[in-house]
């Protein structure tokens, strides 16, 4: 059972950096990253 918790925990902390970042929440970000933190 503990392994299942480990898997879920690992899955969450792996997915978060993949989807939560300024590139996905800011329409003003340029390709070089400038303007990414305008929001």
Sites of contact with another protein (CB under 8 A): 2-19, 21-24, 29-31, 33, 36
Say how far apart CA 30 and CA 38 lie, in whole Å: 11
Q: How far is the CB of 12 from another protein (least distance, A)?
A: 8
Q: How far is the CB of 6 from another protein (least distance, A)?
A: 5
Q: 28 with 39: CB under 8 angstroms?
A: yes
Q: How far is the CB of 1 from another protein (least distance, A)?
A: 10
φ and ψ of 34, to 5 deg: -70, 145
């Amino acid at each position: 059972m503990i392994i299942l918790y480990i898997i879920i925990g690992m899955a969450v902390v792996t997915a978060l950096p993949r989807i939560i970042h300024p590139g996905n929440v800011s329409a003003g970000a340029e390709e070089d990253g400038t303007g990414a933190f305008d929001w």
